[in-house]
Amino acid sequence: MFSTTLRTTLRDLSISSLPRRQYARDSCTRPAIAFCRTVKNTVGQYRSLHATCYMRFRPLPQDARSVGPGSKNTSSLSGLGAPVVEKEYSARKFREPAVALLRKVDSQAKKWHSSNAGRFREKPVDDLTNTKWARPTERRANQAENSRRGRDRPPNDRGFSKFQEAVPIQAPKPIKKPPVVAKVQRDVFIPEVVNVTNLTKILGVRLEMLVRTMHRLGMENATHDHLLNSDEASLIAMELDLNPIVDSEAAIDLYPRILPADMSSFPLRPPVVTIMGHVDHGKTTLLDTLRKTAVAAGEAGGITQHIGAFSVDLPSGKRITFLDTPGHAAFSAMRSRGANVTDIVVLVVAADDGVMPQTIEAIKHAQAANVPIVVAINKCDKHDADPRKAKEGLLQHGIQLEEFGGETPAVEVSGITGLGLPELEETVVTLAEVLELRADKGGAAEGVVIESQVEKGRGTMATVLVKQGTLTVGSYIVAGTTWCKIRSMTDDKGRPVKEAGPGAPVKVIGWKEMPNAGDEILQAEDEALAKTVVENRITKQQRETQLRDLEVINDKRRKDKEAGTMERAVEKAQRKELWMFHHGMIKDLPDAANIINEDDEGDTKKAKVEVKEFRAVVKGDVSGTVGTVVDCLNGLCTPEIKVKVVGSGVGNITDGDVQLAAACEASIIGFNVKTDRKIQHDASVARVPIKSYDVIYKLLDDIKLTLGEMLPPIVTTQVNGEATVLQIFQINTQGRETKAVAGCRVTNGSMTKIGRVRIIRDHKQIWEGELETLRQVKKDIMEAKKGLECGMSFNDFYDFKEGDVIQSVVTVTTPRSYNT
Ligand SMILES: Nc1nc2c(ncn2[C@@H]2O[C@H](COP(=O)(O)OP(=O)(O)OP(=O)(O)O)[C@@H](O)[C@H]2O)c(=O)[nH]1
């Protein structure tokens, strides 16, 4: 099936892993066409690669001879139909893209082979060795013979070989075209010069992928700081199926500096520490006690501000920055936004409680982020404290403590009494020294937004943790899609500061819009640059949103089209059945539903599963918590319930929030925010539930309860009693008519007059309804217990027989609880 040329080419290039097995000729026409198409596409790709390579690599006269006309490579590739230019370039640079291309052919061939192997009859292996490929002369002879017999094939313009034997030609089966879905290619703006790391950000791909692509294109130097010109960057973008647009203006953006591998010449910076652990194990108390030491060490009368991060100065002169957002949600929210700010995790484990589920969760988070852990065995002042048990529990979950020969330090502390806190701080500092956390104090400042909020009278402010460089009042910084000329800065003790170096948390005022927690902060040279960067980012975001919408629209159209085709097929089948019925060809008209095959029925049933939607407007005190609450709510979605956040923001609940929630039939979820009386009144008039929380676990538990209530209850039928019909009696009624009554004995449980009964015959239910009478001898009774003989008659049902089983049933409705 592969042309001899292709086979030769692959052999020349040492690619020998092509599927060698052949298929029976009569069943291979369609797969062969499909495969030819794949090869043709790949050759098309080769052509563009070739053209670009030709432009890119300058012809080298001394190498020209090595890939001259008629050489193995050029003749092989010209066999593929690729235009080989005779004055070629460096053999090495040419050969690598060619090898990569042919590898692609190889892998596609294998893929094609594996997906079709089961569908087509294979020739026995023995036959393969005997299969001969027709030489051109033989092929021409075959064609002549076929044409003489009047079964000539259409001329083969693809240049692929044929089998030696002539075979009867079958009418080609119509090839069903796959639905045409417009492929959306993303535009990317390429600057004149860009380094590898920044190109990953522009193209939105991971570094490994970019490096692989560069190697595939024969670009050997793919180090993170290697500079590429716009041509090279465009070539890479095209290889990644993107649409490169070289536009220096549109490509203007800010990027973090590329740090050298050897940082030893830079000064040490304070470590950034996050406290994690199980609920109630004392994280907040520990942070509060640490913060008090920070205040005590600061100026007299200093007030610790809640700014999301604070520094503790140790007597040794060292400093630690604690992130004041204890908990896994905040940690992973930061990470999911690409801000890996934490250097060390302090894992708090209560000595009286030991390792609990969220302790294990914290361990997993820290390990996933590759952040070292310091264990703080807390509440050691308590009489029932058992630090040893806690440590053994940690060992079971892969935390190798130093005292058991591992590498993780553990300190016994008490958040209440302050016991062991200096040791904990020293341990953190020692670990930081081992980690050699250094930063460059000079150059443009870089950092991350820890949280942001609007403060009355002061406007929008953000807590920023500086990572590199030094932030100064009056400088311009960009975060996400907003910028700021720093009007003023205050440290964690509320003192105004003029500059902040690496590891320092500061509150920055002067933002145009509120930045989001986790946004990267980069300093711009001037206002014009900051504005351009922000404008470019907004345009890029809008374009990406449009593309996403386009994809959704395309997808919907394709699905609608498929659904339309399906409906039309069913209609056609129904019309055909009707016609056959009218012409006496079939006796009964089948049920329309039967025309749909089983698979389709399954789909219909699946589609009928009603998905409920819980909508929410989230308001929080700081952007960090809003982000966390939104992430947590989104994580509650199940196949039956969708949680949709229709709006979110920082600040108290406003009239606008109530209106939005009313319009979307949503609930308002407030976290650490206030709701004034008027808003509460408006919300109750508009029937908008407002739920306020200050603990994330309570919020989640409560929302889970609400979601559980939205689920349809489980309805089950419970059998309370069983009786067997022993004899049928005919009794006279008042109107002198006779009526059949079942004489029964209760064999299980009890039969009640009120409620439903069903009659079972030969293990099948034949009737379900209500009892008309339940009597013992002549007395009406309400209940007949096990062993009792009684007479029963049923509402409008007389077709019972001796031996029938009568069951007394009740329907039990059990409310559902939320379960992921
Ligand atoms: N005896 C004693 N009690 C402590 C200690 N640390 C915390 N507690 C108590 O433990 C309870 C929970 O402490 P928190 O600091 O709120 O615990 P947490 O881990 O922050 O809890 P969440 O914020 O709900 O996750 C409080 O009643 C504290 O007073 C300690 O070292 N010794």
User: Does residue 369 lie in a domain region?
Assistant: yes
Atom of ligand 1 nearest to the CA of 288: 15
Same domain, 462 and 562: no
> Which residues, listed in sequence order, are joined to residue 322 by a DSSP beta bridge?
273, 310
Give φ, ψ of 805 to 5 degrees: -105, 130
Q: How many CB atoms lie within 10 A of CB 400?
A: 12
User: Does residue 99 lie in a domain region?
Assistant: no
DSSP annotation of 260 reads P
Helix (H) or strand (E) holding 219: none
Same domain, 764 and 800: yes
User: Does residue 263 lie in a domain region?
Assistant: no
Handedness of CA 409, 415, 416, 420 (dihedral sign): positive
Handedness of CA 203, 208, 210, 211 (dihedral sign): positive
Amino acid at 357: P
Tokens, residue 181: 């879905």
- pLDDT recorded at residue 553: 62
How far is the C-alpha of 652 from the C-alpha of 646, rounded, in Å? 17
Q: How many CB atoms lie within 10 A of CB 492?
A: 27
How far is the C-alpha of 182 from the C-alpha of 178, rounded, in Å? 12
- pLDDT recorded at residue 184: 56
Atom of ligand 1 nearest to the CA of 281: 19
How far is the C-alpha of 263 from the C-alpha of 270, rounded, in Å? 15
Same domain, 467 and 377: no
Contact, 376 vs 342, CB < 8 A? Answer: no
Cα 747 to Cα 711, 721, 722, 758, distances in angstroms: 37, 8, 6, 15
Q: Is 34 helix (H, G, I), strand (E, B) or coil?
A: helix
Rama region for 350: left / alpha / beta (φ>0; ψ in -120 to 50; rest): beta
End-to-end CA distance of the chain: 51
CATH number, domain of 321, equals 3.40.50.300
Q: How far is the CA of 309 from the centre of ligand 1 (A)?
A: 20
Same domain, 720 and 702: no
User: Does residue 674 lie in a domain region?
Assistant: yes
Per-residue pLDDT tens for 426-482? 999 999 989 989 999 988 999 999 888 887 777 888 999 999 999 999 999 999 999
321-339: buried (b, 16+ CB within 10 Å) or exposed (e) per residue?
bbbbbbbbbbbbbbbebeb
Same domain, 296 and 329: yes
**Number of compact structural domains in the chain:** 6
Concatenate the DSSP letters of all residues of 518-541 into one string: T-EEEEESSHHHHHHHHHHHHHHH
Same domain, 416 and 316: yes
User: Does residue 128 lie in a domain region?
Assistant: no
Q: Which of 535, 569, 595 is the last residue of a domain?
A: 535
- pLDDT recorded at residue 64: 35
Burial of 136 (0-12, 13-18, 19+ CB in 10 A): exposed
DSSP annotation of 196 reads H
Q: How many CB atoms lie within 10 A of CB 585?
A: 10
Same domain, 722 and 747: yes
| Strand residues in 254-354 grouped as ranges (E) | 272-277, 309-313, 319-323, 344-350
> Which residues, listed in sequence order, are joined to residue 411 by a DSSP beta bridge?
376
Same domain, 330 and 284: yes
Domain range for 564: 543-587
Q: How many CB atoms lie within 10 A of CB 770?
A: 13
User: CB-hemisphere CA count at 13 Å for 330?
Assistant: 26
Q: Indicate which residue's Cα is closest to atom 7 of ligand 1.
A: 282
Nearest residue to 804 (alpha-carbon basis) of 778, 765, 776:
765
Q: How far is the CA of 626 from the centre of ligand 1 (A)?
A: 24
Same domain, 341 and 285: yes
| 274, 281, 285, 672, best to mutate for ligand 1 pocket (most atoms within 8 Å of CB) | 285
Cα 404 to Cα 370, 760, 771, distances in angstroms: 21, 68, 74
Tokens, residue 164: 């030696």
CATH number, domain of 743, equals 2.40.30.10
Q: Indicate which residue's Cα is closest to atom 11 of ligand 1.
A: 280
Same domain, 631 and 689: yes
CATH number, domain of 235, equals 1.10.10
How far is the C-alpha of 636 from the C-alpha of 617, rounded, in Å? 15
| 284, 322, 411, best to mutate for ligand 1 pocket (most atoms within 8 Å of CB) | 284
Same domain, 583 and 518: no
542-570: buried (b, 16+ CB within 10 Å) or exposed (e) per residue?
eeeeeeeeeeeeeeeeeeeeeeeeeeeeb
163-188: buried (b, 16+ CB within 10 Å) or exposed (e) per residue?
beebeeeeeeeeeeeeeeeeeeeeeb
User: Does residue 517 lie in a domain region?
Assistant: yes
Q: How far is the CA of 327 from the centre of ligand 1 (A)?
A: 13
Give φ, ψ of 376 to 5 degrees: -115, 110
User: Does residue 96 lie in a domain region?
Assistant: no
Q: What angle do CA 285, 287, 293 make, to 5 degrees?
A: 105
Per-residue pLDDT tens for 563-612? 777 777 777 776 776 666 666 666 655 544 333 343 444 444 444 457 88
Q: Which residues contact 501 (CB under 8 A, 6 or more apart)?
A: 269, 439, 441, 466, 470
Question: What residues are in contact with ligand 1 under a 6 Å CB criterion?
Answer: 277, 279-285, 378-379, 381-382, 414-416
Q: How many CB atoms lie within 10 A of CB 284?
A: 15
Tokens, residue 708: 């559980």
User: Does residue 255 lie in a domain region?
Assistant: no
Per-residue pLDDT tens for 719-774? 889 999 998 888 777 666 778 889 999 998 899 988 889 999 988 888 889 988 89
**Sites in the chain below the pLDDT cut of 70:** 1-185, 248-250, 293-307, 325-339, 546-557, 560, 574, 577-609, 734-736, 820
Q: Annotate 695-711 with three-state secondary structure.
A: CHHHHHHHHHHHHHHHC
How far is the C-alpha of 109 from the C-alpha of 105, rounded, in Å? 6
Helix (H) or strand (E) holding 784: strand 783-785
Tokens, residue 126: 């023995």
Q: How far is the CA of 282 from the centre of ligand 1 (A)?
A: 3
CATH number, domain of 650, equals 3.40.50.10050
Tokens, residue 691: 């739920």
Same domain, 496 and 621: no
Q: Which of 710, 739, 765 is the last residue of a domain?
A: 710
Per-residue pLDDT tens for 372-420? 999 999 999 998 889 999 999 999 888 989 888 888 999 999 999 989 9
How far is the C-alpha of 661 from the C-alpha of 679, rounded, in Å? 12
